[in-house]
Copies of this chain bind each other. A is one copy, B any other.
Amino acid sequence: MMKYKEIGFKLTPQRLAILDYLEGNTAHPSAEEIDRALSEKFPTMSLATVYNTLETLRQKGLVQELSIDPDKKRFDPNIRPHNHLMCIDCRRIIDVHTNFDLSLNDRDKANFIVLGHHVEFYGRCPECRKAAEGRA
């Protein structure tokens, strides 16, 4: 994911653990999930540290903050532009690898400078689909 040396911030064990946890992680975890996962090895680590580290990483462009989940921020170590598909039942988010080259016409642009875009697909994952069928 990144060369730790070049990051330019203090490499604490906590940060290292967060970076390691995030490396290659495609689960789009929330801050609390990261905290929970690491609390076994770092029982004293504070959730505030997780938030602070994530914010620092975001500022340095090393993680992406996703707003696809209306209830909490989700974090993605994959900073390349890509899209997501979320299950509306269990809120699982998976990556969409297809690239969509979308651009706005002048009317839609409304004199904004357009910096990027993100496509959010939503649907129902196989597990939740089965569960829904069971209920029906």
Chain A residues packing against B (C-beta within 8 Å): 65, 67-70, 73, 85, 87-88, 94, 96-98, 100, 102, 104-105, 107-126, 129
Q: A67-B69, A121-B116 are in contact. Are A96 and B104 (CB under 8 A)?
A: yes
Contact (Cβ within 8 A) B122 A115: yes
* Central interface residue in A108, A112, A123, A126, by most chain B CB within 10 Å: A112
Q: A68-B67, A73-B70, A117-B122 are in contact. Are A112 and B100 (CB under 8 A)?
A: no
Contact (Cβ within 8 A) A102 B119: yes
Mostly, the A contact residues are mixed
Contact (Cβ within 8 A) A96 B111: no
Contact (Cβ within 8 A) B117 A121: yes
* 20 additional contacts (CB under 8 A) given A112-B125, A114-B123: A65-B70, A67-B68, A85-B112, A88-B115, A96-B104, A97-B107, A98-B105, A100-B100, A102-B121, A110-B125, A110-B126, A111-B125, A112-B123, A112-B124, A116-B122, A117-B119, A117-B120, A117-B121, A118-B120, A118-B122
